[in-house]
Each structure stands twice: as C-alpha cells, then as structure tokens.
Structure 1
Amino acid sequence: MPTLDENHTGARIRGQRRLARLTQRQLADLLPYSYSLLNQVECGARPATADFVAAVARVLRVDVTTLTGQPYMTELQRDRLAELVRPIRESLDLYDLGPNPDLTARPADQLIAGADQLCADVRATHLRNAARNLPGLIAELTHAAWSTPATELWQALASTYRTAHDISVKLGYYDLSAVALDRMDWAAQRASDPCLAAVRQYMRALVYFREGEYRIGQRLVASGHSVVGQAEQTREALAVAGQLHLGASVISARAADKTAVKTHITEARRLATQIGDASDVHWLSFGPANVALHEMSAAVEMRRYDDALKQARKMKLPPTLATSRRAHFLLDRARTEMETGHTEAALKSLVDARRAAPEQTRYHPGARETITGLVHLSRRTPDTLNHMAAWIGL
C-alpha cells in the first residue's frame, strides 16, 4: 500500500493551524465540521473535500492554494507545462500598450476563428495545445484591436482572456486567473457586450465559490443577471442567464441553502427547456444535460451522497457533451462512490476521468483527495490504485 508523505492537504492544514497557534480542538470549534473529521484529515485518513478546505482557509485567513499546494510544480515541470505559463503571463500585460509596430497580425477573421478554436481546445481538455498557442494570439488580437477597433475584435480578445483564465485555473495558477478576468472585463467594456460582461461575473463568482466566500459569489451572480438583463432576450442572453443560475445552484449548495438550490435549478431547467442545447453559446455547455449535471453537483456539495449517486447512475450524457464537463462528472461520481463505500466503482470512475481528460484530472485537487481517501479505505491496494496515486503525485 502506498503511504503518504507530508506533502498532502491535511499536513498543510496542520502546519497552517500551528502557525496560527490553534489546537485541533480550537480550530474545530471555529469550523462547521467535527473535531474527529479535522483530526482524520490532518493525518491523511480522510480526504480534504473542497468545502472543508474552503472553510479552513476562511478561518485561518489563507488562500485555498496554501492548503491544496497548487500549483503542483513537480508534475507541471515533469509534464513541461510550467514553461508555458510565463508567456501567458507576459501576454496579459500587453493590453494597454497599443499597436505593436514590430508585429504583423493575421486577418481579423482568422484571429476571431483562432480565439474560438482555443475555447474548443480547452473544452476538449487539450490544455497544452491551448496554452502554447494562446500568448501569440493574444499579442495579435491586442495589436489588431488597437489598430482597427471593432466590436468583433474586442470580443475575440475578451475570449482569449477567458481562455487564459480557464487554463490558469485548471493548472492551479489562481493569481494569474484573477489577472485574466480583469483583462476580460477591460476588453468586454470596449466591446460593449453585456453577455460577455455577465460571463465574466459568473467566472468571478466561481472564484469566490472556491475560496468559500459564498455571499460574495451570490452577489456576483446577481450582478451578472443584472448585466445580462440589459441585453435583448436572445438565445445567447438566455443561455448566459441559465448558466448564472447553475453557478448560483452550486454556490447555494455549498452554503447549505436548499431552497435557493431548488429555485436556481428550477429556473435553469426552464430556460434549458425553452432554448434546448446551447452548448455553443460562449462555450458554457448550457443545456438540459448541464442542468442535470449541476443538480448532481449540488447534491454532492450538500453531502447528500446517496442522492447524488442515484442521479449519477441515471445520467445519460449526450455524446456532444464537452470532454471537460464529462471528466468533471466522473470526478464527482468518484467522490460519491467513495463516500458511499463503493471503492471499486470510485477507482473505475477515476480511471475513466484520466482516460477522458488526463491533464485536467491530474491537476484537479478533487481527484487527488479522492485517491487519498481510496488509499486509506483499501485494505489491499490494487495495482491500478497504486499507479493512479503515483501518477497524481502522491
């Protein structure tokens, strides 16, 4: 059986707790979780779920990444992904420099198509390819938008900033993702595009969801609804509004507000029924399938694992569903299977997630925590779990 070293979330929680000069009992008294759970997480006997980590981070007043250890530099360097981050960071700093006299950009239609392709690459979890092509495209679009200001170019530039955010989050560079969202707002304002602005508020809300600041996340969703409400009631606007409701559903679930969860899921389902599959709108994957996926995710966040597992077993994912969403579902399913004692099924779901989206799975903190939990639940660790634990960096 593999054994955990001190480089795991529980050990980092213990270290930060000691720096704050708190005993386990004192920290547990400040959390909506038991002393027993905190003790088990710190010693690595129980996985540190995202909601648990967020709660601890709030109490200790540290970033979530301080506890999760992101970005996972050893694996990123081994996979040659870390070297792709600096060019992205530098490209985000070109926004206010105007046209580049040393650059000749491709025609506008090619640049716009390139921005769309990067969104497709991220949804297909081709993170390396997207990260490699992103800085050059940002440079070209920045030059083109300043040289010949046009709504379509500013929209495309905002889209590339959104891609920078997506890649940064998936690789664990949350400081960079915040910069990317600021740039997205800057470009969306120049495009005068309320839908883009609302998508940006949705993404900001998820940042605060991850950090455990649920009230701020809910306010950002409300702001997004206000912004998209200024647009005409087009299919695009309805899809964005629906996705805002889905974001609010998981935030409300983490905040243990069952009534709000039901309200947001109901409204999202109404909009999905009205417009059908709108996964092409801003690459949000909005539609009936995504509503069902978020309903399951909300059950997971509320720790209603039996309900979540029932939903997962009934789920029929359409073949057109983005790979990133499919992999996220498999990770949610693995967690519910582990929590309900179906360890073999949980390992299979993790293997399926790895097969579908290896880069996304390897750098997802939830995958690491579920594997940690399986290691401690297994009396005899199967070779597949040994391999998964080594691959994930445990």
Structure 2
Amino acid sequence: MAARPLTPLAAAREAAGYTQESLALALKVERTTIGRWERGVQSPQPWQRPGLAHALQVSLEELDDLLRHTVRRSSRTASPVILDAPTIAVDVVGPTPSASDSREREPAAEVDVIHAAIPRLRRALDRLDLPDDGPTRSPAGLYGEIARASDDRLQSRYGSLVRRLPDLITELARVGQLGGSADRRHAAALLTLALRAADGVAFKFGYLDLSARLIDLMRSAAQLAEDPLLLAAVAYVRTETFFASGDLDIAARALELAADRVPDLETASASAAFGALHMRAAVVAGRAGKPDRAADHLREARRASTVVPEGVYRGTAFGPASLRIHELAVAVELRDPVGIERAAAWQPPSSLPAERRSHYFIDLARAQLTLGRHEDAYLCLQAARQAAPEHTRAHPQVRQSLSALLRTHSAPSSGLVDLAAWARAS
C-alpha cells in the first residue's frame, strides 16, 4: 500500500531526525498533537512554537512558512507517494549504473521534502568550523556514504540526498578537526564531494545564493585536500555561477586556466578532468556565439574521451557518452541544424546516470523546437521525465519548452496539458 505524502512540517520533522513520538516527548505534548499539526488540522500555540522551531532547527519565520504550507496542502487531496529507499552504493570514480527502480514519486511531495530540508543544510554549513559532537567514522569508513551521495545526485534522487547531507557534512567536519594531517586531507576531499552533491540540489531548486556559497566552500575544501583534480572539478561546477550572472567570458577564462593546470594527463582521472573542463568550455563558447572556440574545445574533449572509459571522476561524469551529450548542447546553443541532426542521431545508453540521460532529452527537446518539430519536442520531454522525474520537473528549460509548445498549439493534446501542469509550466 502506498504511503501518504509527507506534509512540509512532517518532512522537516523527519529531516531533523525525529519520529512523531520522540518529538512529542521533547516538546512534552501528546503524539496525536504532533499528528494534528502535521495534518494541518491544528496549529501549535504561540508558546509552543519556539520549542518546535528549536527542535526542527529552523527559525520562527521558517516555521511559520512550514505551517502555512502544511495547512495549504491539507486543504487539497494528496496523491499517493512511493518513497523509495536508495540501495545502490557505487565507486565515486567508477561507472554509475542506472537506477534499478524507475517508479516515479509523487513530485509535489518530494519537492516539499527538499525545501523543508534546506534550512538544516544551511545550518550544517554555518557550523562547519564548530561541528556538533557525535559519531565520527574514519575517512575510509565514510567513503561509501560519499559514493552513495554522488550516486543519488547523478540518479536524480534529490529528496533522499538532501535528507542525509546535513549529518554527513557535519561528520566530515568533525573528522577534519580530529584526525591527523593525512586524515584531514582525506576528509577535505570527501567534504568537497559532499558539497558538490549539495550544490546539485541547491542549484536545481533555485537556491542560487546557497549554490554560490557551496562552490566557495568546495574550493576551500579542495585546497585543503591538496588535490588538483578536485580543484578542476570545482572549476567545472563554478561555471553555474557565471551562467547565472551571464559572465561568459569569465567562465571561459576560468575553465581554460583550470584545464591548463591539470597535471599528468597519463592517468585516466587527469584526462577525465581535462576533457570535462573542455566540454564545459565548449558549451560556454556556444552560448557566447563562438562556434570556432566551441569546436576547438570539443576537439580537446574528444581527444581525452578516446582514452577514458565512461564513468564518474571526482563527482563529474566524463567519457564518450558524456561528450555526445555536450555536443548536442553546443549545437543547440549555436542553433546549428547540421550539428543538431548529427547529435540527435544518437541515444544515451541506459547505463548512463539518470540525470545525464534526462539532460540529453531536455536539450534535444530544445533542439527539436528550433527545427519546428513540436511533436518530437514533446516526446523528448516525456522521455526526460521518464529518465529522471525530479531533475526534469526542476529544470527551468523544461518549463520554457513546454510554454513554447502551449503557445504554438491552439488545441494542445491532453498529454501536453498534463505534462505542462506536472512541470508547472504556463
């Protein structure tokens, strides 16, 4: 039997690590009282709110928002939701298998879980230099947790990811303070990857200020780790900041400098870092309307992809398939019909991470719109949704494409209307 979707208040309670019973005990109320608050049929009294906010690790203003959204959700009938527990842990630098369970969660409930967990993530970052006491595993013991976080990001399991990240980041901060110099460097490397996973959630769900902060913290952690390949991964991610601000020339310069600093291209990890930076720079050049520069960067990335198997290196996917996805993105940015046709003749294999496959179909939908193929664009968006529903629903280009399709159809199909409603497009 499917579980009922979590209300925002219930999601915040779970994110803080409480059951209804343990929260009731902490606040000295009945468990049924907690249940009524979470169903939105009763609100905490004014004198109860400070204690509730403290337990949930949110401010009073954030608690008011949680309560308001909980009441709003209780006023409409909620659809069933399946909350799947992730079971796959993969090598951080190895190939990532596709998710074995493709059942789609009820999206609105999952979005509420993600937004409810963001305050806890912010507080974990606030206390990086003053982490709470608690269990502290060795860096080697935490490696599997980082692999799981990386896999959750790449497989678009953002709700599961953001629930665990605050405690994981706090534990890594403790390791960095308690261990010797080697352990501190190792913990800093793992912290960089944990922050990378957190940025995957923050950026996609519109927390641009939090994303910028996470990228700065990533750079600091990578410097402490004394790992030049992690610094290359940070430069790759930092491009998001420049995309948001429109500073494409600065983005190109940062990526080119980072590629020049990648050491020892004889190793697969170094070649992957070098290639990833160049394929990212190709997209920047395409967006800036510089086809020659884009072609130069793609040529460098293609050279690297011939010696690197498809996989995830320092949190970034690279290999022949990832390059094909970026070739399409460049063609779309340049509005190049020949490049679009060539890139669209390929389909991403099911072994690619769900987020990567979804991104390909989102870009392909934009390409089909450019070519006037509206039905094909719609089918691409459906394919993106099937591959990674959380990623697709949060992606602004999906809403833009759907809005364009709605404007061009005087009588849109029920499937298009349903997809637009699901993605909150108008």
**Same fold by TM-score greater than 0.5:** yes
Alignment CA distance shift 1:334-1:308 (3 Å): farther
**Alpha-carbon distance, 1:344 to partner:** 1.4
Aligned to 1:220: 254
DSSP-derived class of the 2:412 partner: coil
Aligned to 1:83: 116
Count the aligned residue pairs.
317
Aligned to 1:377: 408
**CA shift digits 1:290-328 (9 cap, x unpaired):** 112111110100122x23441343113233211111000
| Alignment equivalent of 1:260, drawn from 276, 282, 293 | 293
**Alpha-carbon distance, 1:162 to partner:** 1.0
Q: Distance in 1 between matches of 2:374 and 2:289?
A: 27
**CA shift digits 1:80-112 (9 cap, x unpaired):** 321011111111122222x64x31223432312
DSSP-derived class of the 1:285 partner: strand
Q: Which amino acid aligns with 1:370?
A: S
DSSP-derived class of the 1:80 partner: helix
Alignment CA distance shift 1:113-1:77 (3 Å): closer
- Is 2:208 the partner of 1:177? no
Aligned to 1:302: 334
DSSP-derived class of the 2:307 partner: helix
8 Å CA contact 1:214–1:255 kept in 2: the answer is: yes
**CA shift digits 1:257-276 (9 cap, x unpaired):** 11111111011101111223
Aligned to 1:159: 193
**CA shift digits 1:161-192 (9 cap, x unpaired):** 11111111111111101111111111111111
8 Å CA contact 2:256–2:278 kept in 1: the answer is: no
Aligned to 1:186: 220
Aligned to 1:273: 306
Q: Distance in 2 between matches of 1:336 and 1:275?
A: 28
Greater shift, 203-212 or 241-250, is seen at: 203-212
**Alpha-carbon distance, 1:206 to partner:** 3.3
8 Å CA contact 2:328–2:344 kept in 1: the answer is: no
Instruction: Within 5 Å, give how 1:40-51 maps onto structure 2.
Output: none
- Is 2:233 the partner of 1:199? yes
- Is 2:169 the partner of 1:135? no
Q: Distance in 2 between matches of 1:105 and 1:276?
A: 35
Q: Which amino acid aligns with 1:329?
A: Y
Alignment CA distance shift 1:190-1:313 (3 Å): closer
| Alignment equivalent of 2:141, drawn from 110, 125, 134 | 110
Q: Distance in 1 between matches of 2:257 and 2:161?
A: 30
Structure with more contact order per residue of length (Cα contacts < 8 Å, sep ≥ 6): 1
Q: Which amino acid aligns with 2:160?
A: N
- Is 2:359 the partner of 1:325? no
Q: Which amino acid aligns with 2:267?
A: T
Alignment CA distance shift 1:148-1:194 (3 Å): same
Instruction: Within 5 Å, give how 1:24-39 maps onto structure 2.
Output: none
8 Å CA contact 1:368–1:392 kept in 2: the answer is: yes
Aligned to 1:44: none
Gaps in structure 1 of 5+ consecutive residues: 1-72
Q: Which amino acid aligns with 2:190?
A: A
- Is 2:362 the partner of 1:338? no
**Alpha-carbon distance, 1:77 to partner:** 8.5
| Alignment equivalent of 2:347, drawn from 311, 316, 337 | 316
Alignment CA distance shift 1:152-1:294 (3 Å): same
| Alignment equivalent of 2:280, drawn from 247, 256, 259 | 247
DSSP-derived class of the 1:228 partner: coil
8 Å CA contact 2:283–2:330 kept in 1: the answer is: yes
Alignment CA distance shift 1:343-1:222 (3 Å): same
Aligned to 2:325: 293
Alignment CA distance shift 1:88-1:104 (3 Å): same
Gaps in structure 2 of 5+ consecutive residues: 1-68, 73-107
DSSP-derived class of the 1:86 partner: helix
**CA shift digits 1:114-166 (9 cap, x unpaired):** 01210111000001111111111001111011111412211111111111111
Q: Which amino acid aligns with 1:158?
A: T
Q: Distance in 2 between matches of 1:95 and 1:360?
A: 28
| Alignment equivalent of 2:397, drawn from 363, 366, 379 | 366
8 Å CA contact 1:205–1:216 kept in 2: the answer is: no
| TM-score for the superposition, normalised by structure 1 | 0.76
Aligned to 1:238: 271
Aligned to 1:4: none
Alignment CA distance shift 1:232-1:325 (3 Å): closer
RMSD: 1.9
**Alpha-carbon distance, 1:376 to partner:** 0.7
**Alpha-carbon distance, 1:365 to partner:** 0.5
8 Å CA contact 1:195–1:237 kept in 2: the answer is: yes
Q: Distance in 1 between matches of 2:206 and 2:109?
A: 10
Q: Distance in 1 between matches of 2:109 and 2:228?
A: 36
8 Å CA contact 2:331–2:340 kept in 1: the answer is: no
Instruction: Within 5 Å, give how 1:347-362 maps onto structure 2.
Output: 347-362=378-393
**Alpha-carbon distance, 1:205 to partner:** 2.2
| TM-score for the superposition, normalised by structure 2 | 0.71
**CA shift digits 1:225-249 (9 cap, x unpaired):** 23323x5742111110100000100
8 Å CA contact 2:348–2:360 kept in 1: the answer is: no
Alignment CA distance shift 1:237-1:81 (3 Å): same
